[in-house]
Amino acid sequence: MFPPGGAGSRRDPAQVWLPGTDAHETVAHGEHRWEVPDPLPTSPEPQTPVTVRDVLDEPATWSAVAAAVVRTGVAPGGEVEVACRLAAHLDAPATGLARALAAQEFLPGASASQHEVDATFTSLPD
């Protein structure tokens, strides 16, 4: 709480630093809006994912992985089923994605799914 007219009141200006700049803006009370470029631009081609979360965040990679898992029968419910089953593994290494979905010994299609997912990762640029 600031006393009327004291530090932090509506009369005192504030300094705002915008991402990607060294300078600051001095503003007074009111609404302010800035548009700045995204400091992490998207890559034009898929990158090799590190975590399962990275796989879901890269549309082309995610589509290929989800299609492989559905095609091999590991997730007959489709892409939504694949995503739901991976929710507990988002920070796990991407290389363990197929095993996170199905232990090879217990689920028909798990081995084929593992091979297809591995092939998807192998085809990505470094």
Rounded CA separation 13/31 (Å): 13
69-111: per-residue pLDDT in tens? Answer: 999 888 889 999 999 999 999 999 998 888 888 866 677 788 8
With a threshold of 0.85, does the pTM exceed it? no
- Give the distance between the most distant pair of CA atoms in the chain: 72
Rounded CA separation 1/9 (Å): 9
| Structure tokens given for 67 | 């299609």
**87 contact partners, CB below 8 Å, separation of at least 6:** none
47-61: per-residue pLDDT in tens? Answer: 678 899 999 998 989
